[in-house]
Amino acid sequence: MNILLIGANGYLGPHVVRELAPHHRLRITDIHPAPPEIRRQFPDHEYFDLDVTSQEQVMQGSAGMDAIVNLSVVRRDPELAFRVNSQGCYHIMRAAVEHGIRRVVNSGPHFTVTGPSYEQFDFGIHPDVPPQPGTGLYPITKSLGHEVCRVFAEHHDVYVQDLLLNSLRDDADLKAGAGGVPFVVTWSDAAQAVRLALEIDLERLPSKCEAFFIFGDLPQQKFLNNEAKRILGFEPKGNVALLWKRPGVPEG
């Protein structure tokens, strides 16, 4: 499969490249250059600059692709957050429609749909709820991007999977008692989810716009990742539950 990766040179991108490179032909793009070790390790893939805020660049970069993976994100800049997180999705979806690309994998934080009004009150939260991102810049701009994707999917022959992540960790950082946000996934498991979203038969998706919570198996039951497991076949390997184990207490 020919895959356009947008925002591929951030934190998650290189993990996704490692996961996908053996199986697919990648067009690895970002406004930042790819890490040298990635270029050395995967010299047979395409690399070039692409700014998701430019409709023209996204349109050109999408030519000849079978799927688009959007990993771009801006969290704090009040202008760029809109241009990247919201308008960027508009540019991507227009390009997908123009080029007949039926598969788009988007990404964002879990509060794209389940903001403070869910997180501060509820348990057993799943991603198929009416979006309530709240008024924070990062959540609301990502949520608007999600809505753009949903509207395009409803009106065009495009399937969107929005992978919602939050706290990403290295396996080495998973230490007993460290705690954290109960929405943790390892980088490699997150990359696995991207691969699964690219490989699933589109006709098996329950709808043309699906959101999945991507995190490892956690004890809190605050959020649920069962749909990612059931539909995508997501099998997180990282022992993220360890973060909430009592230090020094043996398993069992």
Strand-by-strand arrangement of the 25-30 sheet: 46-49, 25-30, 2-6, 67-70, 103-109, 159-165, 209-213
CB of 101 to other proteins, least distance (A): 15
Q: How many residues bind other proteins (CB under 8 A)?
A: 30
Kind plus residue range of the DSSP H or E element containing 212: strand 209-213
Asked if residue 239 lies in contact with residue 174, where contact means CB atoms within 8 angstroms, the answer is yes
Q: Is 176 helix (H, G, I), strand (E, B) or coil?
A: coil
82 binds other proteins (CB under 8 A): yes
Question: Which parts of 190-249 interact with other proteins (CB under 8 A)?
Answer: none
Residue 134 as a binder of other proteins (CB under 8 A): the answer is yes
Give the distance, in angstroms, between the CA of residue 97 and the centroid of all CA atoms in the same chain: 20
Q: What's the first-to-final CA gap in the chain, in angstroms?
A: 44
Tell me if 111 contacts other proteins by CB under 8 A.
no
The least distance separating other proteins from the CB of residue 134, rounded to whole angstroms, comes to 6
Query: For other proteins, which residue of 22, 43, 78, 250 counts as binding (CB under 8 A)?
Result: 78
Q: Is 175 in the site for other proteins (CB under 8 A)?
A: no
Q: Which of 1, 63, 129, 151 binds other proteins (CB under 8 A)?
A: 151
Binding segment (CB under 8 A) for other proteins, from list 28-36, 143-151, 187-195, 241-249 = 143-151
Residues 5-64 that bind other proteins (CB under 8 A): 55
